Amino acid sequence: MSETFKNYIDGQWVEARTAKTFENRNPADHHDLIGVFPVSGAEEVLQAVQAAKNAFARWRLVPAPKRGEILYRVGDLLRKHKEEIAQGMTREMGKILKETRGDVQEGIDTAFYVSGEGRRLFGQTTPSELPDKFAMSVRAPIGVCALITPWNFPMAIPTWKMFPALLCGNTVVFKPAEDTPHTAVKLVEILTEAGVPPGVVNLIHGRGEEAGAALVRHPDVQLVSFTGSAAVGREIASVCGQNLKRVSLELGGKNAQIVMEDADLSLALEGVLWGAFGTTGQRCTATSRLILHRDIKQRLTELLVARTEKIKIGDGLDESTEMGPLINQAAREKVHRYVQIGKAEGARLLIGGAILDEGKWANGYFYRPTIFDQVTPSMRIAQEEIFGPVLSIIEVKSFEQAIDVLNSTAYGLSSSIYTRDVGRAFRAMRDIEAGITYVNGPTIGAEVHLPFGGVKDTGNGHREAGTTVYDIFSEWKSIYVDYSGKLQKAQIDNAE
Ligand code: NAD
């Protein structure tokens, strides 16, 4: 008998009015049913937004340091339940335990980092141009925020959004991805236990095109913070544009690692293995292109293929597994389709390119780690986000060509260069078009106290994490206090 889960609205776990439900199954073993969740519709969205709106009237007046203290307790509780949440997350979305522990750790780091901001959340004071007048600007909360998240970081991404949103005095309605509703329930249970008041955080399960779209359109939702695919991001942005809502978008990537002829090759090898096949390639920052200088290409390619052959694929709950399954059947089909596209385009398949569905892999969505050689920059496999364990090798003759190739996609999230030449490293930092650049490190590995986001089609100019996230979740308000006792007119030429 599987457990049936509910929405969380106004401090209560409530059944959705609809009788429709969806199942959440383990991608490593689809016989393993995790639970049944409601397919919420517009009615549940109305209730959740109303609860968030009512709670906003009180929550915005709670002093920010107090809000920060609650988030500190959230961090403590996440730490206490870290292993249990990580185990549940691996069962729910497949990535290996080392990675799900890391995912929960990002939530913990964010909680502690953001909680301290309760005693900062700095505004500015500045002299007025007039005598006996005081001028300052402060951060004000915005109102009800819709948080719509993907499945690949079921704890890290919601917490990146939610904790700063709450710290700033906003209330939220959270719509997690259909593939990871259970981790979302765990997060909300912890928020409740930590003392987040009713209505401040509301959770709605359901489909993106139904519950998600209703949330985006609701007139009382002031801000939409979305992480997911570029296609959905564009749709959401156009609705928000029509309705003049604030919207922050964190979208896809087509990240590349450059390896120059002077690089430490064993370091570059470790980097690309982790960047390309970690999380089964299902990270927005995953390495999907490997740009190799021709002088080291053959050597590094041979080493890479040899190591890739040995990657242990299986259930992420087994500590010895190195790569788990893809998230679902549709994802596996998409990856396999791209492999056929790559072959048809004339790329050379070096390894992988096959579905694994026999023996211990029979009940999951496993796929062999795949490497293509002789890829040219304009091929679809070098341009489009595949979101799976597929790496394309592109050969270049020079540093300048490497940078050009790296920059030649629509996306601009993460990037990496391996070189021992400090001049090249600095030129790469300057000339690469991306929100994140690593020198002698892989394309994955963001830390929560630095801005996170990308350029070009990866987003719309916002940055989560760091200190920049507060520009998403607060409004600037400028305040003038005139204590001269008379009408003073600014911008009037008062000079005698
Ligand atoms: P997705 O766009 O399919 O779904 C993301 C979320 O949007 C889900 O909760 C879904 O239910 C919801 N949604 C879908 N249609 C909607 C609609 N019409 N209106 C409102 N909500 C809707 O993405 P996904 O498959 O869950 O995640 C993978 C994508 O996310 C990849 O493209 C990846 O690069 C991207 N991603 C980006 C970042 C980043 O920070 N830049 C991080 C992680 C993942």
Full DSSP string of 216-260: HH-TTEEEEEEES-HHHHHHHHHHHHHTT-EEEEE----EEEEE-
Instruction: List the beta bridge partners of residue 171.
Output: 144
Taking the CA of residue 178 as reference, the ligand 1 atom at the shortest distance is 11
Q: At what angle do helices 82-93 and 64-80 cross, to 10 degrees?
A: 70
Cβ count near 407 (within 10 Å):
17
367 lines ligand 1 (CB under 6 A): no
Residue 96: CA count within 13 A, CB half-sphere: 19
Does ligand 1 have an atom closer than 6 angstroms to the CB of 237?
no
- φ/ψ of 407, rounded to 5, equals -80, 0
Q: What gap in Å lies between CA 187 and CA 202, rounded to an integer?
A: 11
Total count of residues recorded for the chain: 496
Catalytic residue among 106, 178, 210, 250: 250
Closest to 364 (Cα-Cα) out of 430, 314, 311: 314
From 95, 103, 152, 452, give the residue whose CB has the most ligand 1 atoms within 8 Å, as the site to mutate: 152
Q: Write the pLDDT tens digit of every residue in 320-363.
A: 999 999 999 999 999 999 999 999 999 999 999 999 999 999 99
Establish whether 284 is a catalytic residue.
yes
Q: How much distance in Å is there from the Cα of 399 to the middle of ligand 1?
A: 34
Please give the C-alpha separations between residue 82 and each of 97, 105, 329, in angstroms, as whole numbers: 11, 8, 28
Q: Phi and psi for 139 in degrees, rounded to 5?
A: -90, 130
Q: Is 226 left (phi over 0), alpha (psi -120 to 50) or beta?
A: beta
Question: Which of 166, 153, 170, 188 shows the shortest CA–CA distance to 7?
Answer: 188
- The answer to whether 23 is a known catalytic residue is no
CB of 82 sitting under 6 A from ligand 1: no
Question: Can you tell me the distance from the alpha carbon of 109 to that of 475, in angstroms, rounded to the nearest whole number?
Answer: 25
Strand pairing partners for 223?
145, 246
Closest CA to 70 of 83, 81, 80, 59: 59
The set of residues, in sequence order, having a beta carbon less than 8 Å from that of 418 and lying 6+ positions away, is: 257, 258, 259, 260, 263, 264, 267, 268, 271, 439, 440
Rounded to the nearest whole angstrom, what is the distance from the C-alpha of residue 152 to the centroid of ligand 1? 9
SS3 484: coil
- Kindly state if the Cβ of 5 falls inside 6 Å of ligand 1: no
Do residues 338 and 381 make contact, with C-beta atoms less than 8 angstroms apart? Answer: yes
Q: Which H or E element spans position 211?
A: none
Tens-level pLDDT at each residue, the chain (496 residues) = 579 999 999 999 999 888 899 999 999 999 999 999 999 999 999 999 999 999 999 999 999 999 999 999 999 999 999 999 999 999 999 999 999 999 999 999 999 999 999 999 999 999 999 999 999 999 999 999 999 999 999 999 999 999 999 999 999 999 999 999 999 999 999 999 999 999 999 999 999 999 999 999 999 999 999 999 999 999 999 999 999 999 999 999 999 999 999 999 999 999 999 999 999 999 999 999 999 999 999 999 999 999 999 999 999 999 999 999 999 999 999 999 999 999 999 999 999 999 999 999 999 999 999 999 999 999 999 999 999 999 999 999 999 999 999 999 999 999 999 999 999 999 999 999 999 999 999 999 999 999 999 999 999 999 999 999 999 999 999 999 999 999 999 888 765 5
Whole-number Å distance, alpha carbon 228 to ligand 1 midpoint, is: 2
Site to substitute for ligand 1 among 284, 332, 411, 456, most atoms within 8 A of C-beta = 284
Identify residue 384 by its one-letter amino acid code. E
Cα 156 to ligand 1 centre (Å): 14
Assess whether the C-beta atom of 149 lies below 6 angstroms from ligand 1. Answer: yes
pLDDT at site 490:
87
Cα 342 to ligand 1 centroid, rounded to whole Å: 24
What number does the ligand 1 atom closest to the CA of 206 have?
Answer: 11
CA-closest residue to ligand 1 atom 42: 284
Distance from the first to the final alpha carbon of the chain? 86
Six-digit token string for 181 = 């509703």
Please indicate whether residue 399, judged by its CB atom, sits closer than 6 Å to ligand 1. Answer: no
Could you identify the atom of ligand 1 that is nearest to the CA of residue 213? Answer: 19
Specify the pLDDT at position 496: 55
- Whether residue 422 contacts residue 281, with contact meaning beta carbons closer than 8 Å, is answered with no
pLDDT of residue 18: 82
By alpha-carbon position, which residue is closest to atom 35 of ligand 1? 228
Mutate-to-test residue for ligand 1 from 221, 232, 249, highest number of ligand atoms within 8 A of CB: 232
CA 123 – CA 82 distance, rounded (Å): 35
Query: Tell me, what's the pLDDT at 494?
Result: 65
In this prediction, residue 17 carries a pLDDT of 84
Query: Strands (DSSP E) along 99-235, which ranges?
Result: 124-127, 133-140, 144-148, 171-175, 201-203, 221-227
- DSSP-based three-state secondary structure for 129: coil
Please state the atom number of ligand 1 nearest to the C-alpha of residue 228: 30
Q: What is the 150 CA–ligand 1 centroid distance (Å)?
A: 5
Ligand 1 within 6 A of CB of 175 = yes
Domains contained in the chain, CATH given: 3-251+459-478 (3.40.605.10), 255-439 (3.40.309.10)
Cα 345 to averaged position of ligand 1 atoms, centre (Å): 28
Report the alpha-carbon distance of residue 81 to residue 52 in Å, rounded.
Answer: 27
Pick from 159, 172, 67: which is nearest to 111 by CA?
159
Give the pLDDT score at 1: 55
**For the whole model, what pTM was predicted?**
0.97
pLDDT of residue 433: 98
Computed on alpha carbons and rounded to an integer, the radius of gyration of the chain in Å comes to: 24
Within 8 A by CB and 6+ apart from 19, the residues are: none
User: Among positive and negative, which fits the CA dihedral 222, 182, 277, 420?
Assistant: positive
